[in-house]
């Protein structure tokens, strides 16, 4: 009987040793939680280029630059900051068709930390409606204007199932920093560790025409894959709400 017990114990130990260990990459890349501030990628070997404040006059050109390099990016777009989003319908559809991630940056780009829950909800749902009209999908990712997440911002976004993105590298393009100054920040931060999610603005020609090509080259030199924010968080396929909506012909107004 004792011998049988020893044999059973040995077999159990062998089975335990033979069982495959959890894949660490899979553990790292579980889908992010809504309503929690995320500053960088959940895995190494990636760079998630992320642009705010469009769509704008450079959006189509930026998509061409990214597409030529085989890169994917994320666009955090507003409804009215630089004109009505519907006036840039062609660029919006082009970016979506190219496989870039379209995400929300609110309707009017306000300081939402002082907003009521109802006001925040309105800011988000107006962008959802525009996206549904233009591309047939509603986003599940957003970046708050001015990176402000106080007050009712996070509770409301959690209730709406939004993943909240900020950044881990601020290029400073919004603060008159030159592409060279922005580039130095990436060089200093390095390409190791979990991938970067930078704060950039497609409303500056230098960001589109100088910084972006430099980043594409920097990523290539460091063997970094240029991906959407969702992919770098292990959430590829989770960029949008599951429901699809009929694309509308318009005309629309903001």
Catalytic residue ranges: 52, 201
241: exposed, middle or buried (Cβ count in 10 Å: 0-12, 13-18, 19+): middle
Residues 6+ apart with CB under 8 A from 197: 38, 39, 40, 41, 48, 50, 165, 166, 167, 168, 169, 229, 232
Q: In what order do the strands lie in the sheet with 101-104?
A: 37-38, 163-165, 141-142, 101-104, 74-77, 50-52, 198-201, 169-170
Q: Which residues of 171-198 are buried (b: 16+ CB within 10 A; e: fewer)?
A: bebbeebebeebbeebeeeebeebbbbb
* Of 156, 170, 192, the residue nearest 41 (C-alpha): 192
Token pair for residue 149? 């997440």
Token pair for residue 236? 């590829």
CA dihedral for 227, 174, 60, 34, sign (positive or negative):
positive
- Strand (E) or helix (H) holding 188: helix 179-189
């Amino acid at each position: 009987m004792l011998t049988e017990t020893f044999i059973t114990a040995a077999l159990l130990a062998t089975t335990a040793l033979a069982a495959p260990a959890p894949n660490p990459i899979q553990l790292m890349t579980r889908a992010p939680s809504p309503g929690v501030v995320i500053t960088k990628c959940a895995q190494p070997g990636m760079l998630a280029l992320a642009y705010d404040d469009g769509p704008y006059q450079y959006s189509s050109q930026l998509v061409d630059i990214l597409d030529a390099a085989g890169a994917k990016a994320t666009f955090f777009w507003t409804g009215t900051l630089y004109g009505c989003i519907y006036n840039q319908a062609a660029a919006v559809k082009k970016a979506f068709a190219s496989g870039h991630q379209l995400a929300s940056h609110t309707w009017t780009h306000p300081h939402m930390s002082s907003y009521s829950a109802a006001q925040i909800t309105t800011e988000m749902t107006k962008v959802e409606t525009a996206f549904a009209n233009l591309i047939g999908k509603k986003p599940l990712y957003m970046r708050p204007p001015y990176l402000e997440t106080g007050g009712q911002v996070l509770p409301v976004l959690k209730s709406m199932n939004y993943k909240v993105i900020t950044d881990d590298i601020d290029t400073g393009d919004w603060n008159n920093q030159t592409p060279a100054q922005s580039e130095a920040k990436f060089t200093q931060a390095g390409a190791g560790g979990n991938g970067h999610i930078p704060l950039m603005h497609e409303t500056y020609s230098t960001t589109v025409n100088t910084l972006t090509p430099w980043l594409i080259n920097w990523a290539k030199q460091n063997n970094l894959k240029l991906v959407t924010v969702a992919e770098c968080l292990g959430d590829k396929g989770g960029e949008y709400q599951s429901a699809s909506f009929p694309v509308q012909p318009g005309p629309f107004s903001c």
